[in-house]
Amino acid sequence: MTTLFDLSGTNALVTGGGTGLGASMAFGLAEAGADIALVVNRHAGSGVADRIRALGRRVVELQADLSSITAIKRVADEAREGLGTIDILVNNAGIIRRTPAVDFTEHDWDDVMAVNAKAVFFLSQAVARGMIERKRGKIINIASLLSFSGGITVPSYAASKGAVAQVTKALANEWAQYGLNVNAIAPGYMVTDNTEQIRNNPDRMKSISERIPAGRWGASDDLNGAVVFLAARASDYVNGHILTVDGGWMAR
């Protein structure tokens, strides 16, 4: 059974890998045996690359602004140059802007959609070409509970995460025939930089916490099992699925 979850000999490209959920998932993939290409928006300061190297894995660190198509293509090329083939892609990078919808600006809308939705599609496209040639590959997108609901004061984030869920299904429909598995993880309310503002709001914190059946917010490493499953042979017949890891939020 353990061989179903063994990633030895594979290479994973993880965006937003410097901190938070991305750093934790990258380490989880490395623990399962994968070598890692980490994409960060600025030089990684979390020490995740050193922790991965301590496991005996190879690490390539790439700095990029994924709102740029040129940067997206460069990331795909440099990851392949550094590791060889890319067997696993985790599209985790994302940003959020919180403003009431009536005051939301075009600039904030475009910034969020570029990183959260556009980059997911075009990086997947860039990596999938090689996967299709090899007849095997795993693409894991990071969706959100707001792939299913609208949220409050985050209209572009909700729109972008709805797009992530639909792009996941669209790519699965086209690429499953070539041996690719395209799926997504929808995290629940997690303790990350993106949720600091609402965690500092006592009323929002209370109302959200009371709805989570598990009785707590998620920690970064709560996604590690899910990402390893979707990256491994264990999920070879799973396609176009949005896996919620939310402490039971969606069941409530």
Q: Which residues touch 202 (CB under 8 Å, ≥6 apart)?
A: none
For 215-251, letters b (16+ CB in 10 Å) and e give eebbebebbbebbbbbbbeebeeebbebbbbbbebee
Distance CA(218)–CA(147), nearest Å, equals 18
SS3 for 63? strand
Q: Within the chain, how many helices (H) and strands (E) appear?
A: 9, 7
Residues 144 and 159: beta-carbon distance below 8 Å: no
Strand (E) or helix (H) holding 13: strand 11-15
Residue 232 phi/psi, 5° resolution? -100, 175
The reply to whether 178 belongs to the active site is no
- CB 21: neighbour CB atoms within 10 A? 29
Closest C-alpha among 113, 96, 169 to residue 139: 169
Contacting residues for 44 by C-beta, under 8 A, at least 6 apart = 17, 18, 19, 23, 38, 61
Query: DSSP code of 84?
Result: S
Instruction: Point out the catalytic residue in the list 157, 178, 189, 237.
Output: 157
Residues 3 and 32 sit within 8 Å (Cβ to Cβ): no
Active site residues: 157
